[in-house]
């Protein structure tokens, strides 16, 4: 939910979501169309579909209990290295490092050089204090989100003295730029295919719509992603 939407908007929607579907079992039993309707306004509906598929896999393969090993988590639909480690760190409090865009930026600057994905993960794992994974990863995320921004506030940073880039006088290039895991600015939303896809999804959430009302390539794209159904000349949410 947070991938494309601000925390303030996500918080009430997340609470509604988990109140409606408190377990993987209740969520997996819900038609995908209802899940997509509840996801409206949160962006990237493909993630809602993956979440639904993952819940079904958790029910079928794990008796409705979220698995707690990296290998089992990575086998769930839509789950990659970041999500798997985030679940282990925040749900199970295992001693693993989580590397999101904020943490990747902190690590690259502290290390003083661009990091590959593998190196960033190794550095992150090695830095976790034993038994304090939840606290440590939350703190690093907050540090990257508030102080170690693309335009950093080094004078306020509690780790500036141990940050190689800061100690170098922030000599260019910024090691965070180009490091694996550090996201680039998103392309303009206005007029983009993302905007067009969102418009189709909002329309079908209200009921079946005519294919002729939309760009056919967008319709075909959403259909291929499993986010809509084609019924003759009409499109609808999946049942």
Q: pLDDT per residue over 14-45, tens digit each?
A: 999 999 999 999 999 999 999 999 999 898 89
Q: Which residue, of 167, 185, 203, is where some domain finishes?
A: 167
Asked whether residue 95 is domain-assigned, the answer is no
Query: Would you say the C-alpha torsion 184, 190, 192, 197 has a positive or negative sign?
Result: positive
Three-state DSSP at 173 gives coil
Cα–Cα dist 199/68, whole Å: 37
- Supply the CATH number for residue 49's domain: 1.10.340.30
Residue 117 lies in a domain: yes
Query: Angle between the 216-224 and 193-205 helix axes, to the nearest 10 degrees?
Result: 80
In this prediction, residues 55-68 reach a mean pLDDT of 98
pLDDT tens-digit map of 144-188: 999 999 999 999 999 999 999 999 999 999 999 989 888 776 667
Q: Does residue 188 lie within any of the structural domains?
A: no
Domain boundary among 79, 113, 143: 79
- Does 42 reside within a domain? yes
Task: Evaluate whether 83 touches 122 at the Cβ level (below 8 Å).
Answer: no
In a domain, 57, yes or no: yes
- The total of structural domains in the chain comes to 3
- Over residues 209-227, mean pLDDT: 95
Last residue of a domain, one of 150, 167, 184: 167
* pTM of structure: 0.88
Residue 84 lies in a domain: no
In sequence order, the β-bridge partners of residue 209 are 235
Residues 199 and 147 grouped into a single domain: no
- Its domain, for residue 111, covers 101-167
108 and 161 belong to one structural domain: yes
Total Cβ atoms within 10 A of residue 109: 27
């Amino acid at each position: 939910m947070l991938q494309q939407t601000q925390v303030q908007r996500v918080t009430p929607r997340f609470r509604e979501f988990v109140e409606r579907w408190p377990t993987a079992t209740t969520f997996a039993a819900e038609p995908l169309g209802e899940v997509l309707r509840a996801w409206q306004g949160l962006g990237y509906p493909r993630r809602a579909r993956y979440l639904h598929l993952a819940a079904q896999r958790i029910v079928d393969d794990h008796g409705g209990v979220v698995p707690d090993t990296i290998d089992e988590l990575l086998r769930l639909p839509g789950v990659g290295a970041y999500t798997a480690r985030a679940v282990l760190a925040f749900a199970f409090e295992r001693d693993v490092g989580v590397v999101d865009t904020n943490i990747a930026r902190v690590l690259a600057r502290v290390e003083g050089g661009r990091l590959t994905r593998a190196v960033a993960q190794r550095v992150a794992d090695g830095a976790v204090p034993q038994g304090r994974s939840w606290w440590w990863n939350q703190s690093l995320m907050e540090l990257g989100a508030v102080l170690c921004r693309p335009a950093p506030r080094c004078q306020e940073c509690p780790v500036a003295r141990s940050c190689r880039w800061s100690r170098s006088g922030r000599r260019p290039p910024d090691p965070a730029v180009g490091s694996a895991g550090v996201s680039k600015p998103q392309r303009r939303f206005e007029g983009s295919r993302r905007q067009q896809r969102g418009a189709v999804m909002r329309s079908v959430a209200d009921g079946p719509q005519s294919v002729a009302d939309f760009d056919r390539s967008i319709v075909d794209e959403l259909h291929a992603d499993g986010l809509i159904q084609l019924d003759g000349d009409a499109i609808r949410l999946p049942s």
